[in-house]
Structures are given as structure tokens and as C-alpha cells.
């Protein structure tokens, strides 16, 4: 059995536009986010039970959950006993991406080499008679 924790509290389900309109999330992931957000904090559940509430099935649920995890909207922790068996799990759902390695506010080097370096596009091609070559 798992437990869901949310990092936002409302009396009805609200979904930020940043999630609803995020083109990097599939419709499946957005729908799963909406369903999980509609549940109360500390909701006790089983993944199999969640899968029963949609026609897509367990594999589609798992794919959507993995997508939410990769984009930082969901973190899942599993608690195991001394035999290595999963005994409990916790899912943390957030309306802003959570990452283990936050972006740095300051550059890593004290004196960066160049601030606005010009990048070269190595994929530009130039036709030389019948051959293409990279510039």
C-alpha cells in the first residue's frame, strides 16, 4: 500500500496552467497528474487499484507515472524490509518540478572563460561539386 503526499493544499482540484499546457507532458501524464491531485493528502492506495480507475491499464499507468517522475512532478520512494521486499511506498506529487540537483545560482568557475560565446553549427553543409562536406 502506498501513501500520496501533495505539496499543495486546496479544497478542490486545481491544476496549474504550467502543467495543463506543458507540451513536454503527454495527455496520459497530464490525466494521471489530475487524478492523483484530486485525491486527498495521505490517501492510502495500491498501484493496481489506481489502474482500475481508467481503461488504459496498468502498463499505461506505469508509463505515465515514469514520465511524471522524469519531468520532476512526481517522486516515488519505496520502503523495504531486511529481506528486500517492498513493504510501503510514498509518492510525492508537486505542481512545480522537483529535481535532486537544482540549478546553480552562481557559475561554477570564479572567472568564466566567456560570457556570450558564439556557438558554431557543425551541421551546416556546403556542396562542393557532387560531394557534401561539413564546414
Task: Classify residue 110: in a domain, yes or no.
Answer: no
Residue 79 lies in a domain: yes
88 by DSSP, 3-state: which? strand
Per-residue confidence of the chain (135 residues) as pLDDT tens digits?
777 776 765 567 888 888 999 999 999 999 999 999 988 888 888 888 889 888 888 999 999 999 999 999 999 888 899 998 888 888 899 988 887 654 545 555 555 555 566 666 666 655 555 555 555
130 inside domain:
no
Domain ranges, residue 66: 2-93
Q: What CATH number is associated with residue 69?
A: 1.10.10.10
Is residue 85, in this structure, part of any structural domain at all? yes
Domains of the chain: total: 1
Assigned domain for 128 exists: no
In-domain check, residue 82: yes
Among candidate residues 1, 11, 79, the one with its CA nearest the CA of residue 45: 1
> Residue 16 gets which letter from DSSP?
-
With respect to residue 135, please indicate whether it lies within any of the assigned structural domains: no
Q: What pTM, to 2 d.p., does this model score?
A: 0.63
Amino acid at each position: 500500500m502506498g501513501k500520496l503526499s501533495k505539496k499543495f493544499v486546496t479544497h478542490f482540484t486545481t491544476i496549474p496552467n504550467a502543467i495543463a499546457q506543458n507540451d513536454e507532458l503527454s495527455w496520459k501524464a497530464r490525466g494521471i497528474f489530475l487524478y492523483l491531485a484530486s485525491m486527498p493528502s495521505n490517501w492510502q492506495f495500491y498501484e493496481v487499484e489506481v489502474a482500475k480507475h481508467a481503461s488504459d491499464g496498468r502498463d499505461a499507468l506505469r508509463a505515465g507515472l515514469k514520465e511524471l517522475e522524469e519531468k520532476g512532478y512526481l517522486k516515488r520512494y519505496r520502503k523495504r524490509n531486511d529481506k528486500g521486499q517492498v513493504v510501503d511506498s510514498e509518492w510525492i506529487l508537486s505542481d512545480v518540478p522537483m529535481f535532486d540537483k537544482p540549478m546553480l545560482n552562481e557559475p561554477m568557475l570564479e572567472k568564466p572563460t566567456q560570457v556570450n560565446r558564439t556557438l558554431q553549427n557543425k551541421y551546416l553543409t556546403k556542396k562542393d561539386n557532387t560531394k557534401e562536406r561539413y564546414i
